[in-house]
Amino acid sequence: MASTATTSASDEADRLPMAALLALAMTGFICIVTETLPAGLLPQIGHDLGVSSSLAGQAVTAYALGSLIAAIPLTIATSGWRRRNVLLLTIAGFLVFNSATALSTSYWLTMTARFFAGVAAGLAWSLLAGYARRMVAPHQQGRAMAIAMAGTPVALSLGVPLGTWLGTQVGWRPAFGIMSLLTLLLIAWVLAKVPDYPGQAKGERIPLPHVFRTPGVRPVLGVVIAWMLAHNILYTYIAPFAAVAGLSAHVDLVLLDFGVAALAGIWIAGKFVDRFLRRTVLLSLLAFDLASLAFAFWTASPSVIVAGVAIWGMTFGGAATLLQTALADAAQDGADVALSMNVVAWNGAIAGGGLLGGLLLDWRGAEAFPWALVVLATAGVLIARSARTRGFPAGHRHSTARLGGH
């Protein structure tokens, strides 16, 4: 009888707070869909605002710029606030600025709203991983983060195409209005299901330079930059790359291939992140490297492209969980500040991928992309492999990391 009660208590302790973690995943979903929704609706937005499609496209740039600029200073400024208040502030930001975007008839007002929506996203991304870790015991942190980060690939694989379809059916303004309605539902969800935690006391806060110098932090950020720069070169210019293999009429299916594989990658990362974080990172990078090499030699082969995109998607799906877990473990009590650096590195890689990919496309054509990917992925493998003690330590996370005080 006592044994049964003990087992029941153990099962209860090991049960993940799914409702709360899925609320965090929904926050990430809204971040991504809000960021990318204009991309499929540029002609309509440009026509309504009286500007060209290229100028309308700066709505995506303004959003990324807001995240890039605001993530670190806002994370530091709000580090002493209660955590749920900060989460609600970011969600309220999406409500206000998506509504402003939906109602605006001015190009510059729209760009301003997009910038501040990006500011809200920058704060959200630096908060979500640490929040998920805090809800669970140390041995569950990897799985919890995998669930909390699931909103990103779901948004990329399902939310973005659905948003684009919705925008073409009812118009881009109602599409942004629907995003505002989703944030209202999310606010109620957070209030009902997400636990609150205190912020850091003033004496406990670790200065940014100290966090940056913490052993293991810089190698993880180095892998983030190398890996995500490679990813964004290809993802940003997937249409011209697919065209080389005669798949220009099937880019939507190529992206669906990527998205479904990314969902599988989330499951794999959640399964292995706690026990085999180092090994999973190295195998993911190596698989991406080999897929890139196959792209380089068989760029014109549709079957190789489809298979390679599936491998690429699977490795990308788990990347956020793996890298943010490694970064938070390395930074420990400075995890929130380190994760705000991750937001900057990630958004910098998005911008850098667009820039570098554009230069390669103009210089050598889409056939040059795989070779750039090979160089960057190999650099990521070497950095991760060298960070054996701190950053990507071998062994079970429970034996190499402690719960941070964030």
Question: Would you kindly state where each structural domain of the chain is located, as residue ranges?
Answer: 17-201, 206-406
When computed from its CA atoms, the radius of gyration of the chain, rounded to whole angstroms, is 21
Q: Which residue has the higher pLDDT, 287 or 215?
A: 287
Mean residue pLDDT across the chain = 84
d(CA 34, CA 163): 9
d(CA 114, CA 228): 23
- Reported as a pLDDT band with limits 50, 70 and 90, residue 296 is very high
Q: Which of 24-28, 42-46, 231-235, 318-322 has maximum average pLDDT?
A: 24-28
- Reported as a pLDDT band with limits 50, 70 and 90, residue 205 is low
355 C-beta neighbours (distance < 10 Å), count: 14
pLDDT at 204: 65
Contact 343/119 with Cβ under 8 angstroms? no
- Reported as a pLDDT band with limits 50, 70 and 90, residue 203 is low
d(CA 327, CA 391): 7
What mean pLDDT comes out for the span 401-406? 41
pLDDT at 256: 79
pLDDT cut 90: percent of the chain above it: 37
For residue 317, pLDDT beyond 80: yes
pLDDT at 404: 39
- Reported as a pLDDT band with limits 50, 70 and 90, residue 406 is very low
For residue 289, pLDDT beyond 90: yes
- Reported as a pLDDT band with limits 50, 70 and 90, residue 291 is very high
pLDDT at 8: 46
What single-letter DSSP state applies at residue 249? G
What mean pLDDT comes out for the span 257-269? 86
pLDDT at 142: 76
d(CA 250, CA 274): 37
**What fold characterizes domain 17-201?**
Growth Hormone; Chain: A; (1.20.1250)
Predicted TM-score (pTM) of this structure: 0.78
Q: What is the dihedral of CA 342, 155, 117, 178, to 10 degrees?
A: -160
Q: Name every residue whose Cβ is closer than 8 Å to that of residue 104 and which is 6 or more positions away in sequence.
A: 110, 113
Render pLDDT for 362-373 as a digit per residue (tens, 0 to 9): 888 888 889 999
pLDDT at 213: 86
* CATH class of the domain comprising 206-406: mainly alpha
For residue 108, pLDDT beyond 60: yes
Render pLDDT for 378-398 as a digit per residue (tens, 0 to 9): 999 999 999 888 888 887 766
Nearest to 269 by CA among 327, 328, 316, 224: 316
pLDDT at 12: 46
C-beta contacts of 348-351 below 8 A and 24+ residues apart: 348/68, 348/225, 349/224, 349/225, 349/228, 349/229, 349/231, 349/232, 350/64, 350/228, 350/232, 350/236, 351/64, 351/68
For residue 297, pLDDT beyond 50: yes
225 C-beta neighbours (distance < 10 Å), count: 21
Contact 88/187 with Cβ under 8 angstroms? yes
At 237 the three-state DSSP class reads: coil
d(CA 57, CA 168): 16
175-184, 304-313, 324-333, 395-404: least confidently modelled range: 395-404
85-94, 288-297, 371-380, 392-401: least confidently modelled range: 392-401
What mean pLDDT comes out for the span 194-211? 78
pLDDT cut 70: percent of the chain above it: 91
What mean pLDDT comes out for the span 104-121? 94
Matching CATH topology for 17-201 and 206-406?
A: yes
Render pLDDT for 209-241 as a digit per residue (tens, 0 to 9): 888 888 889 999 999 999 999 998 888 777 788
